[in-house]
Structure 1
Amino acid sequence: MATLLTSLQNGRIKNILKLHKRRQRDAQQQTVVEGVREAGRALQCGIIPHEAYICPELITTEEATAIWQKLQSLEKNGQLTLFTITPELFAKVAYRGQSGGILLIIPYLDNSLATLSLKPSPLLLIIDGGEKPGNLGAILRTADAAGVDAVIVTTQPDHSGTDIYNPNVVRASLGALFSLPVIVAEQTPLLKWLRQHQVQIGVLTPDGERPYSKMNLQGSLALVLGSEAFGVNAQWLAEADFRLQIPMRGIVDSLNLSVATAVVVFEAVRQRQQAGAKTSI
């Protein structure tokens, strides 16, 4: 039976507000998922929330009703704690508007290089220093659509870097954060892991040797892209097996990171599909 919460001073409500900050998310190893689509995809991917908050007055669609029923079933089985809250309270705790009356508290995902199982000729995507959560979310959407095997986000030894659990990442990814392995790793052990698994490293840079469409993007490959402001760091450039570029025909000298990612990733997919078609003839 769901517990009704009505006070902004309630400890659980205060904790939701704390989770809007990265320091608290990292300390508690959990984050907030808002929205009907995002919550539905988290549940679809087998993620069991620690807590769920429902505003009945805002549940207006069949999809939202189905999610509420699923959460009630999980609560009945003792798998989560379910609360109902008022519209006024939901407006206070929601990270963004138009969340459809559903808010989940989910644990951090248990993804790491040690647990990543690679299929033959994997296509990996490495984001080095991507600074904008919205960009990372859009990149995850692309990776999911293209069938990328994993997205790896580099971090510093002090764990600084793009926060994959920022609510804006969850929102911009449309739930793709839950559907594919997304791993945070430091650069040095990541490079060692790539070499151990015989994965080639292709770095996208304005100084690339050849256009991306002229490079062989088949086989075991990790595509590395950096931030729009600074690009990839020097160690990636030094370790690259090859460097590729996106030719720029106009006066601008770079693309948005998520756009550049989509361009290169879908070229890799095209090449792999074409090679597979030739093999099957």
Structure 2
Amino acid sequence: MNDATIPAERPLSGKVALVTGAGRPQGIGRAIVLSLARAGADIVVTDVARKRADILVEGIGLCDSMTGLDETATLARSHGIGAIAVACDITDEKQIEAAIAAAIATYGRLDILVNNAGTGLGAGAFETIEDTVWRLSWEVNVLGAVKTCRVAQPHLALSGRGTIINIASTLGLAAQPGYGAYVLAKHAIVGLTRLLAAEWGPKGIRVNAIAPGFIHTDMGAHELELIAQLRNIDVAAASAAVLTEIPLGRLGTPDDVAEAVTWLAGSASYVSGVILPVHGGVVSGLN
């Protein structure tokens, strides 16, 4: 470990965070873990860590073994904090309970929950999406976050200043054709965020969400392919078109999202019920 990589100021020192969906190398979840680690938090790193063909989207890999989770935890520990990797499929409440129990057994507390896990399943024209896909999208993208929040709540309340950050999407604030069940699921996450901020504020729990726009990840690449299909152009042309719609002139990075999460987890002590777009200034759909 290089001490020069550890910042002198660590605003989350003494805090414990659990981050779901953090096992993929190019994913937002891993970037969130590393940003929280740099800020001093101890981390419980979770992801599905098993094969689930039912929610697999072509071009968007899943974390289907412990390898990715262990790599994320190892990278986090290089920042001088504690990090453990725990397999957790968020559609299984018993696995959620086990992951949170591991946090309490290892660190004695839970202060920060980041609901990042999700699936891009359910994109496509509305009339083409089958009921099975609607149910799976809802089960993973919405009920997974609902269950995780429910299990974590008593521990976050005990911490005195617990916080939840949900990863929504600009498609949770807007509607664009071709995104089907994903749009509905992310709108539900926005609603969940606002509900829990209202209900759990008196318990000392802040609840906010990040709404990423075009982010340079596997899912972002898949989104560009969808845009190319919808506009009947190639992916290079779709990418160029997207860039013209972003006032800042570039795609976002996982670190852009992660830094916003870390701010919400730490110094934003009077911010709750906010849906924070991280999208380079894009105005999209009905937003």
Q: TM-score, normalised by structure 1?
A: 0.35
Q: Which has the higher strand share?
A: 1
Larger Rg: 1
Q: Which has the higher helix share?
A: 2
Q: TM-score, normalised by structure 2?
A: 0.34
